[in-house]
Chain A
């Protein structure tokens, strides 16, 4: 209001009051509140919390109560995981937690998806700010609120939360919430994460926080509306109930504490828990060396078209401050879904710390609270209200990797380590999203749990584990195909077979990915989509001389019913992408490769869709890898002998795999000499390598070179200032294709009378 002027003059205080009242009374709707959405720190202590801490501050008493509430959260988590119908619930894409009366997440379940820990507090704060005193809504005992719109705080709108307030003798003492990755949400593509979305309106249900439960009962009218808005009404119903009952179970635990220890003890416990963790994080940061690390990750598509999209990251530590600066990252796409709200990015950065840097820290909002994040407004990592973000994972995962890569450099020099220094984990959801009508006549839309099989990065002393866990969760599950096949009408003909040569080599190699081949069998209404990047440019970087992973395209075989082949000519079938695409064993079939952003596509019976899960990054110089480990990789089908020999300079008998150690040493010495011969002085390299602008033939987005203030927008000639947003539209890929074809027709004079 201070900057408000009327005809160039500052209004008087009376005028300001009048104007403010008018504006408040005429709010069109309550959109996301920047004050809430941009802040990830814990709220200031309230007077009530001060008073509570004055009464109860004994560390041992607080610890006792905290453990009890933690057990309650874990119990709620187990309930959701067990009772939930969504595949996400079954593999642990869930969190339950207890939030302070001000809305901060104080204690979260030990299992589940950590990114939520930095995100679900936003909608609670929205409820507190807007609905608590609103006479048409209000917050009272027995209420429950639902939410999924990421613009109000979420990863993406496929995640739904149930939030209930907890009262003691009429006073609000805390909140309990349960969040699950539900999958289907009524978007233009099934499964909840549409890459075809060109605006938020294409993304399905967008639930700002609203009341859906009264007297601990789900309101049937609203439930019916929600069920009508999605493809899986059964799932919507089941999981709303599950989340509510999990919250009620945690509520019981809290009430028992309220009865035995009093509300002050509870509130003091929640507050002190957060403050203690926050202080510990500051202390740990202060032990890191003061320095700056710069890194970047490239996204190679918007999931609709190939392009080069930069995620730029500068990490600076000074004193007890740690600052992530993502300025210079790509501008937001006005009509592509790969943008993220900044809170999503922060959530994933919190994950870096809670699972990969300080795994001993308790889960909650406070663990990331003191860390600072800077971004450009309306950028791909801090998108605006009007930009779609249903595929935000593309940007938060690459943002995560940028952070993980930068942090590793600090950890290397940090005196006290809480885990191993490691290369980046694979970061893309290389899996099939599916939907349609099942063999049982049910309408379904969701995805294969294979996204949980991301390869781990190598560490300072050993290879990365294959297909270990998704970057957003621990103890996640890639599932059992026998159980999946009971419910969906397709088979994974190849389900878990290591993809040969899809590697990230290094002194220690990354954990590798595996092949998935699917084909619809028992439904005429079934289709797949894939939503990942990295088909042309690796989405991660290696560490200290280790390599990034390979690239993983989507391959399709059409005009074939592979089930006929399997029954009648089974000898023709091959169990690897490599063999099928190179040998093309099915006559008449068509074979093609694509980027990993396949929009939802109906699949005919027996058509093959083939992808590979990706590898984590390598660590250290390849020439230092133990030759015995190289041969073991060949034996286990991870590498072909040719690739192994070429990369690692190991000399061995290709038939017996016996190593010639002397020849290997000689080959490696020769390669070291060759490296020296190939090298040039830094200044000379820069002179030959640096270009003033991005190449004209590439659609490039983001800063170029050292100038992080100028963002390129798909062309060397179109830019914006980082702090000055501009729309950034992409043409529809079909329009691009039509234009290309028309140009060719015109060039050969075949357009006839048709007008463009």
Chain B
């Protein structure tokens, strides 16, 4: 297999090239003004390794795939066109009011609780650019008030006169009857034909999101409209660059649904967070190939701790209403949780409880931790890690950031030692313990809320600070296996290299499988089958349009279901895609009951209150050949090798252990696969530090993978 996959992040463009049996990881700085330059540089490094020209590689690879955080950055930077919006009259304030709670979406708990400081983010559409049009449909799509076309034309002109560069249309109940939205699009084309220079793009909400919820669908359409032009130009430039270098196949773009599609089948909203989602995709792929079972993927960087779940059996965890930046939207996105904990998290004295608190405030990278010596005065997790002996002050981040221990010491002394009446080392240990506890609690809640027990999981630890903190976190969770994955420095790009082409189509509906009032069991099989067939057809057409042969197209059917009038919708994966009798209906009910019981506790099911389907979803996909990892499982103990002599020793301190440990230090490059090292130990690479706590064993595996194995059965704490 020959393939190029890329993750374009805010700082680095990561590139992963598969060239037969060779796997090459490269990086270059992201060039925001022209993404192709960073891409070419990163790929150029791979060319050098392979001794080939850019055109030779691009002419032979089966695909080039992109994951990118560009959309997220554009949202944060608030760079987008002036949007004009048409909504159902009487709903003009729906978006500005953001369901009331919009002030706190994307904020931490403190930001959500502090009401006098509550402030909605700057809007993507100014309130005076939202006009109502006279029309109305009911929940079944029946006409309540006909569309007043003259009114539409009048409002449209008003928006254009006010400078609208793009029109977003979001009408109530348009997902069950899109006729009015479609007619408005026609009117826009009549008024501003596409062949004229004054043509205006139109985004229809029902085409962006298929679910009910007029606010979340409207914000989805807005975000999509807001990013459309930025993403289109950036990704088109990349495609042009590929064409210029002899790549003649379609460029593939990673979606936040965990799949990918060609550029012409991608809308901007689907690209948001595709980088981190690719990381979870890589975890899933690794889990399958290495038979890891359940995996919790954790990415700890400087400011955040991202968590994703991959479980056996193929159950996907989606957020159907994820928060993107500060906006609640409606798009099926691979579930990803971000906690405010990282190396830059600031530690302070908790006056009330007479202990240490840590985060969510972060020193970020500027000024960064006190030890960066860039003006940061407040102690951070990285300062604590440095004082505890884990970091090499002269070779941190490959030597690019010299660390100043005196600054770290002074910051911890000033902020913590006097108040806590303890030594610097004791205070640093408290900081370390606190941040690990915070992450463990977040991870625990995340898994438990979905009905999983952390001890049934292998933790994947990546990101700059992941392997440095993973033992401390796992210790709190009774997890006894941690894998720092292979190819971890370009892990998201690796994930992009393993995605399948995927399109998700869904329909909101009110379908009662069991009516508790009449005790009637659903029997409108034709309706169910017709909807499923239509959704399958949509997905099929998407893939056919991209040249996927019909016989390679597969479909998965998922139903979002609930008991009575609950908020929660539990997703049941249904193997049979058609129903033809009560047995099929009861099988669906049974599947739902099993999944619900696993999540909320056996016996918590309440079928007596009625059972409904709220959404039917079909994932249409075509599988591609995937990257084969080598056998990365740790060798059995007798087969493991002793390490070479350590390069040096450092004085380290560990939470839960008194006194100092003279801790051996190795360079990761000096450790061969199969080597076993007893903790406490440090294995350092250019991009991270593998800290092996006392009670843990480090085992090196192939392709740069590293295992942390707990020596004894864990004491159950959670």
* Residues on A facing B (Cβ under 8 Å): 59-60, 62-64, 66-68, 70-71, 74-75, 78-79, 81-85, 89-90, 110, 234-235, 237-238, 241-242, 245, 248-249, 253, 256-257, 259-261, 273, 276-277, 279-280, 354-356, 359-362, 419-422, 425, 440-442, 452-453, 456-457, 459, 462, 465-469, 474-483, 485-487, 491-498, 514-515, 517, 521, 563, 566-567, 570-571, 573, 575, 635-637
Contact = CB atoms under 8 A, between A and B. Distances in A.
A441 B515 CA distance: 10
B90 interface: yes
* Residue with the highest number of chain A CB atoms closer than 10 Å, among B100, B148, B175, B353: B100
B114 A419 contact: yes
Given A452-B100, A475-B112, 18 more contacts: A62-B355, A75-B445, A79-B449, A82-B566, A241-B606, A245-B603, A260-B718, A277-B352, A355-B114, A466-B97, A478-B97, A480-B215, A482-B139, A482-B175, A495-B94, A570-B145, A573-B145, A636-B128
Contacts of A475: 101, 104, 112
B718 A567 contact: no
A514 B97 contact: yes
Contacts of A453: 97, 100
A256 B517 contact: no
Given A234-B610, A245-B604, A477-B99, A89 B567 contact: yes
* Residue with the highest number of chain B CB atoms closer than 10 Å, among A110, A277, A486, A494: A486
Interface of B is mostly: loop
A469 B441 contact: no
Contact of B110 (A238, A359, A462): A359
Nearest to B109: A110
Contacts of A495: 90-91, 94
B449 A78 contact: yes
A619 B448 CA distance: 45
B446 to A, nearest CB: 9
A276 B353 contact: yes
A485 B437 CA distance: 44
Interface stretch (B8-16, B115-123, B193-201, B548-556): B115-123
Contacts of B444: 71
Nearest to B105: A475
Contacts of B510: 486
A81 B90 contact: no
A440 B448 CA distance: 35
29 contacts: A64-B437, A67-B437, A68-B441, A71-B441, A81-B567, A85-B564, A237-B608, A238-B564, A238-B609, A242-B604, A245-B600, A260-B718, A356-B116, A359-B117, A362-B352, A465-B119, A467-B97, A468-B100, A469-B115, A477-B99, A482-B175, A486-B139, A492-B90, A493-B90, A496-B94, A521-B138, A567-B146, A571-B148, A636-B128
A260 B715 contact: yes
Enumerate the 10 nearest inter-chain pairs by beta-carbon distance, A residue then B residue, closest first. Answer: A494-B90, A82-B568, A359-B114, A420-B116, A566-B145, A485-B139, A422-B116, A480-B213, A482-B212, A496-B93
A476 B718 CA distance: 30
Contacts of A81: 567
B400 interface: no
B291 interface: no
A596 to B, nearest CB: 20
B716 A259 contact: yes
A241 B604 contact: yes
B565 interface: yes
Nearest to B350: A63
A59 B355 contact: yes
B711 to A, nearest CB: 19
A425 B118 CA distance: 12
A453 B215 CA distance: 15
A745 to B, nearest CB: 44
B718 A68 contact: yes
B517 A63 contact: no
Given A75-B448, A89-B567, A475-B104, A63 B441 contact: no
Contacts of A635: 128
B173 A276 contact: no
B101 A496 contact: no
Contacts of B136: 491, 493, 566
B120 A465 contact: yes
Contacts of B353: 59, 62-63, 66, 273, 276
A480 B212 contact: yes
* Residue with the highest number of chain B CB atoms closer than 10 Å, among A238, A273, A355, A492: A238
A362 B600 CA distance: 27
Contacts of B92: 496-498, 637
A60 B566 contact: no
B390 to A, nearest CB: 20
B22 to A, nearest CB: 45
Contact of A567 (B91, B145, B716): B145
B352 A248 contact: no
B354 interface: yes
B11 to A, nearest CB: 32
Contacts of B127: 636-637
A478 B601 contact: no
B39 interface: no
A468 B115 contact: yes
Contacts of A491: 136, 138, 144
Interface in B235-259: none
A260 B715 CA distance: 8
A469 B101 contact: yes
B48 interface: no
B516 interface: yes
B216 interface: yes
* Residue with the highest number of chain B CB atoms closer than 10 Å, among A480, A635, A636: A480
B99 A479 contact: yes
A494 B90 CA distance: 4
B101 A425 contact: no
Nearest to B351: A280
A256 B718 contact: yes
A441 B716 CA distance: 50
Contact of A234 (B109, B355, B442, B564): B564
Contacts of A452: 100-101
Contact of B606 (A237, A465, A467, A479): A237
B430 interface: yes
Contacts of A636: 127-128
B116 A79 contact: no
Contacts of A496: 90-94, 97
Contacts of B212: 480, 482-483, 486
B563 interface: yes
B31 interface: no
Given A567-B144, A567-B146, A482 B110 contact: no
Contacts of B104: 474-475
B89 interface: yes
B214 A237 contact: no
B109 A466 contact: no
A477 B449 CA distance: 21
Contacts of B565: 85, 234-235, 238, 487
B718 A238 contact: no
Contacts of A573: 134, 145
B634 interface: no
Contact of A497 (B91, B112, B717): B91
Contacts of A422: 116
B282 to A, nearest CB: 28
A514 B510 CA distance: 29
A514 B94 CA distance: 10
Interface string B201-212: 000000000001
A355 B104 CA distance: 14
Contact of A276 (B91, B354, B601): B354
B214 A465 contact: no
Given A68-B718, A474-B104, A442 B517 contact: yes
